[in-house]
Amino acid sequence: MDTQAHPGADTEARMMTGAEIVITALQEQGVEVMFGYPGGAVLPIYDALYSTPEIRHILVRHEQGAGHAAEGYARSTGKAGVALVTSGPGATNMVTPIADAMMDSIPMVVITGQVPTHLIGTDAFQECDTVGITRCCAKHNYLVMDVKDLARTIHEAFLIATTGRPGPVVIDIPKDVQFATGRYIGKDGVTRRTYQPQTEPHPSLIEEAIAMMRKAKKPVFYTGGGVINSGPEASQALRDLQKATGFPVTSTLMGLGAFPASHEDWLGMLGMHGSYEANQAMHDCDLMICVGARFDDRVTGRIDAFSPNSKKIHIDIDPSSINKVISVELPIIADCGNALTALNTAWKGTRPEKPDLTDWRAQINAWRARKSFAYSGSDTEIKPQYAIERLHALTKDRDTYISTEVGQHQMWAAQHYHFEEPNRWMTSGGLGTMGYGLPAAVGIQAAHPDALVIDIAGEASVQMVLQELSTAVQHKLPIKIFVLNNEWMGMVRQWQELLHEERYSHSYSDSLPDFVKLAEAYGGLGLVCDDPKDLDSKIQEMIDYDGPVVFDCRVTKAENCLPMIPSGAAHNEMILSEITGDEIDETGRGLV
Amino acid sequence: MSSNQTDIPASAYDMSHIDEADERRTLAIIVDNEPGVLGRVVGLFSARGYNIESLTVAEVDRRRHRSRITVVTNGSPQMLEQIEAQLLRLVPVASVTDMTKSKRGVERELALIKVAGTGDKRVEALRIAEIFRARVIDTTNESFIFELTGASDKIDQFCALMRPLGLNEVSRTGVLSIKRGAEPG
Ligand SMILES: Cc1ncc(C[n+]2csc(CCOP(=O)(O)OP(=O)(O)O)c2C)c(N)n1
Ligand SMILES: [Mg+2]
């Protein structure tokens, strides 16, 4: 391996077992909480953990839960999430969270046990090719064959997981390596010559960007998860730059919270279920400043009709994001926070007055007047949008964190729960993993014991990794699972209405459990509500309960999530109020 | 493909075709020589739907554990830009050089070619081998094995000429490349 390690003054080289090296390295990396599940191939590490009360280990009920919990922990703290699982099935159960963390650029270190080195390749009990299986869905991975490589490998893994474009790193450790004795090396000086992410923007590009920004008549900031990943300073720099320029801001699903939703220049989320004003502004702008976003297909709609008349600046730490989907005039490879700070300085240094955007503002306000997130209310039924609105109203003044599952409820949460700060919104964007939200809430609550942590769920998604309710009860993590129960895989039902002439093939959530009894069976509180008049008091009851709650919120069954840009359509071809079934042409039908 | 009775390709992959606008490129990829590194590079090509026309790999710097992977690929200019960027995302990849674009690249391939035949064909095979400066490295009464180095199209041409003379087996290294001039890299 090509890592240079110089034991630092306070991290003197010491001899210890591989298992102790793992725990010592985790402690040196500042790990306070980890999520895991034991098994034969990680017992030595579990043994070392037994005498390390400084690290809080949250025992999950399924390894997928450990992975998503680590993701939730990471996303809500900005630190790496850590998971520990055994070989074979333990490792394969982790594949979904690893792929999820890769897609959403979440820093995560996964430690997997492996059969002893002399058994590798013999189809030994609980052997699987973990590095082979995770090679294409992790940022990097290692099989540590020699205890002398172990400490530096772990430090290098943290370095790679948390720097550059963050992502999951897997360390596969054979059992004999855990037992072997080796030298511990501290993290100081551990680098990797072939891994040097560029974090500082080139000054001449910043100047060019400023010149383009000065000229713009119809500018828009299009920000993404990269701003969140870059830390709270990046969100602050975005706010400062917006204040100085007055440019309107939209964000991807992953970027919500970087810019305050209560701000008058906030356009709302963009993309498939984004606001009309955000998508129109993207389509009609003359300058698009993309910060830490990646022109995902959920955002761009039809590529050849994407923002036809704009010049584009793309700030991203990952050079492969540049020109991958959309060609841009000015790519800036840098950490978002650094680039935004440099833009701030340059903007203020030259001519600090705000450009006149009166016409553009008027245009945006006209689009805004369409009220694209509006829905028809009801006195008798709980509309899902209304449920999110009330949830927001009753929790916004608290220290609240929101996670979601995947489906309509996720999009309604993004539309109607308005985020003011970064790191408050945890959702599976890139992979779209049903079952993410509940274990993510477990991880968030473990990081923020006194906060109010709510998983906005669908009745179908929540059943995917439901057993983690038991984890929440065991570890006294008072998460609230707010199920928008529409008795349908609503998003699937909506697509079948849109694309398959209302042939609802296998999308009804039949034989649902009694969620109240289910909560009670696990040792939590179950609440049910089907009347809009009771909703506030029931939500309050949920908030006030000191323990895990499952809230069965019975909402309108066949509500569609609108507005919507159908697959294969352009930004300015949104469905605003009603689905008729002929919105999608033949090409669109083939898309996802 | 042996069958000409039917239009069905032997493999689904035979159905793909190279686009007119595609360009061919030779990439020199310098990597840390560690277990699995070739898997990462090759896996990236297959996962993202990039083509590999030829691939060679060997350690070139024992002391620094560096290997050189030479890939011949093709694609649209945008895809080629992505291939480079995606390769550089792999942690053990130190550098990627587009040898075709650099203009200074020279390319060579080595081939071992078995030609079996007797009489006139055998004489003719030897005569062509001389013209191509191929070396005979093994001979029996009814066969030769030729060793030939050169640009890939020279080897193609040689094989084409040998086919009617009894060519029955070919082994090729794939393309190697290096830049002209005194400077490294
Ligand atoms: C693991 C996984 N399997 C399948 C899907 C496809 N899928 C997307 S949304 C959805 C339905 C979700 O239903 P529910 O959780 O009830 O949410 P709703 O849309 O009704 O709000 C399905 C099946 C997915 N995203 N993830
Ligand atoms: Mg549902």
CB distance from B73 to chain A under 8 Å?
Answer: no
Contact A2 B65 (CB under 8 A): yes
Q: Are residues B162 and B145 in the same domain?
A: yes
Q: Are residues B109 and B172 in the same domain?
A: yes
**A196 touches A163 (CB < 8 A):** no
Q: Are residues B52 and B118 in the same domain?
A: no
Q: What is the CATH number of the domain that holds A31?
A: 3.40.50.970
Q: Label residues A98-132 b or e (16+ Cβ within 10 Å = b).
A: bbbbbbbbbbbbbbbbbbebeebeeebebbbebbe
- Phi and psi based region of residue A347 (left: phi greater than 0; alpha: psi -120 to 50; beta: remaining): alpha
pLDDT at B15: 52
Q: Are residues B166 and B117 in the same domain?
A: yes
pLDDT in tens, B90-109: 999 999 999 999 989 999 99
Q: Are residues B109 and B94 in the same domain?
A: no
Which residues does chain A have within 8 Å of residue B64's beta carbon, measured at their own beta carbons?
Answer: 2
Q: What is the CATH number of the domain that holds A262?
A: 3.40.50.1220
Burial of B29: CB neighbours in 10 Å, binned 0-12, 13-18, 19+: buried
**A183 touches A15 (CB < 8 A):** yes
Could you tell me the two tokens for A154?
């772990």
Domain carrying residue B47: 21-98
CA separation for the pair A488, A477 (Å, rounded): 29
**Hey, how many other C-beta atoms are within 10 angstroms of the C-beta on B10?**
9
Q: Are residues A50 and A159 in the same domain?
A: yes
- Angstrom CA distances, A51 to A47, A55, A57, A183, B138, stand at 7, 10, 12, 20, 68
Which residues does chain B have within 8 Å of residue A145's beta carbon, measured at their own beta carbons?
Answer: 35
- Tokens 């095979």 -> residue: B125
Active site residue A126: yes
Q: Which residue of A has its CA nearest to B85?
A: A320
Q: Are residues B112 and B55 in the same domain?
A: no
The angle, 0 to 180 degrees and rounded to 10, between the axes of the packed helices A408-416 and A384-395 is 50
Its pTM stands at: 0.95
In a domain, A585, yes or no: no
Q: Are residues A28 and A153 in the same domain?
A: yes
Residues in a beta bridge with B24: B74
Report CA(A490)–ligand 2 centroid distance (Å).
5
- Tokens 């356009």 -> residue: A267
Contact B36 A320 (CB under 8 A): no
Relative to the CA of A509, which ligand 1 atom is closest? Answer: 16
Q: Which of A327, A273, A366 is nearest to A559 (CA)?
A: A273
> For chain A, what is the domain count?
3
Q: Are residues A355 and A224 in the same domain?
A: yes
pLDDT at A589: 73
- The tens-digit pLDDT sequence of chain A (592 residues) is 444 444 444 445 699 999 999 999 999 999 999 999 999 999 999 999 999 999 999 999 999 999 999 999 999 999 999 999 999 999 999 999 999 999 999 999 999 999 999 999 999 999 999 999 999 999 999 999 999 999 999 999 999 999 999 999 999 999 999 999 999 999 999 999 999 999 999 999 999 999 999 999 999 999 999 999 999 999 999 999 999 999 999 999 999 999 999 999 999 999 999 999 999 999 999 999 999 999 999 999 999 999 999 999 999 999 999 999 999 999 999 999 999 999 999 999 987 678 899 999 999 999 999 999 999 999 999 999 999 999 999 999 999 999 999 999 999 999 999 999 999 999 999 999 999 999 999 999 999 999 999 999 999 999 999 999 999 999 999 999 999 999 999 999 999 999 999 999 999 999 999 999 999 999 999 999 999 999 999 999 999 999 999 999 999 999 999 999 988 888 888 998 877 667 777 777 777 7
Could you tell me the two tokens for A62?
């399924």
Q: How far apart are the first and last CA of chain A?
A: 41
In a domain, B27, yes or no: yes
* Residue A573: alpha-carbon gap to chain centroid: 28
Nearest to B89 among A131, A318, A327 (CB): A318
**Hey, how many other C-beta atoms are within 10 angstroms of the C-beta on A229?**
30
Report CA(A407)–ligand 2 centroid distance (Å).
7
Q: Average pLDDT of B119-124?
A: 96
Q: Are residues A69 and A139 in the same domain?
A: yes
Domain carrying residue A494: 384-554
CB distance from A336 to chain B under 8 Å?
Answer: no
pLDDT at B103: 87
Q: Which residues contact A393 (CB under 8 A, 6 or more apart)?
A: none
Q: Which residues contact A54 (CB under 8 A, 6 or more apart)?
A: A27, A32
Q: Are residues A355 and A441 in the same domain?
A: no
Reported as a pLDDT band with limits 50, 70 and 90, residue B39 is very high
Is the distance from the beta carbon of residue A407 to the nearest atom of ligand 1 less than 6 Å? yes
Q: Are residues B91 and B126 in the same domain?
A: no
Contact B91 A160 (CB under 8 A): yes
Q: What is the CATH number of the domain that holds B137?
A: 3.30.70.1150
pLDDT at A217: 97
CB distance from B164 to chain A under 8 Å?
Answer: no
Q: What is the CATH number of the domain that holds B35?
A: 3.30.70.260
Dihedral over alpha carbons A68, A74, A76, A78 (to 10 degrees): -160
Is the distance from the beta carbon of residue A406 to the nearest atom of ligand 1 less than 6 Å? yes
Contact B39 A139 (CB under 8 A): no
Q: Which residue of A has its CA nearest to B66?
A: A2
CA separation for the pair A246, A311 (Å, rounded): 18
pLDDT at A6: 47
In a domain, A207, yes or no: yes
